[in-house]
Amino acid sequence: MRTDAVKNRQRILDAAEEIFATEGVAVPIDAVAERAGLGVGTLYRHFPNKEALFEAIVMDRLVRLLDTAKDFEVAEEPGEALFSFLYEFAEQASSKRDLFEALGSAGIDLKARCAELFAELMKSVETLLARAMAVDAIRRDMLANEIVGLIVGTCHAAGDSGLSEAGRQRMVAVVLDGLRPVVRRS
């Protein structure tokens, strides 16, 4: 892609992510183009339909999440690295849930389509978990897929209960605290 095209693509993605988050996924595609300061034609050249846009946003975030995880793999404090990653993961799982569901309703199984990316992310979580366990920064009885499932489930539960963003954050805080090493009670 030419540099201009790359820049425009990112401008569209950033504008779309922002507008979907604030106004919901039903917002018309023209509004996305307007927010990005580009013509609708330019937008359609990059993304032929809304689903392509949803998919690109989620993929973009997943790639960035994987980058974050890779950075944390070599962080000095393995405990803080794992918990910071899980916090960021919860943020994304929650804020991108609408996009995921819109894709699901359109018959697009993103998890199957990006199986490799998801697998790489899980591998990275396993590394972060092993490092944190080695310094006793996390309880020892949970597997990586259980931790990921627990966090995704918590964010879904918060959404289903119609909780505020503060309520969701409290729910996630409970789970993250519960993942800390079990302290013997006196």
The contact set with a copy of itself (CB under 8 A) reads 139, 141-143, 145-146, 149-150, 152-154, 156-158, 160-161, 163, 167, 170-171, 173-179, 182-183
Is residue 104 within 8 A of residue 160, CB to CB? The reply is no
Looking at the Cβ atoms of 43 and 90, the one nearer to a copy of itself is 90
Q: What CA–CA distance (Å, rounded) separates 175 from 168?
A: 11
Nearer to a copy of itself, 70 or 156 (CB): 156
CB of 21 to a copy of itself, least distance (A): 22
Rounded to a whole number of angstroms, the minimum distance from the CB of residue 66 to a copy of itself is 21
Q: Which of residues 4 and 141 has its CB atom nearest to a copy of itself in the complex? A: 141
Contact 47, 56 (CB under 8 A): yes
Using the minimum distance from each CB to a copy of itself, give the nearer residue, 12 or 158: 158
Rounded least distance, CB 152 to a copy of itself, Å = 6
DSSP state of 39: -
Q: How far apart are the first and last CA of the chain?
A: 63
CA 136 – CA 157 distance, rounded (Å): 29
CB of 81 to a copy of itself, least distance (A): 16
- Rounding to the nearest 10 degrees, give the CA dihedral for residues 133, 139, 144, 148: -130
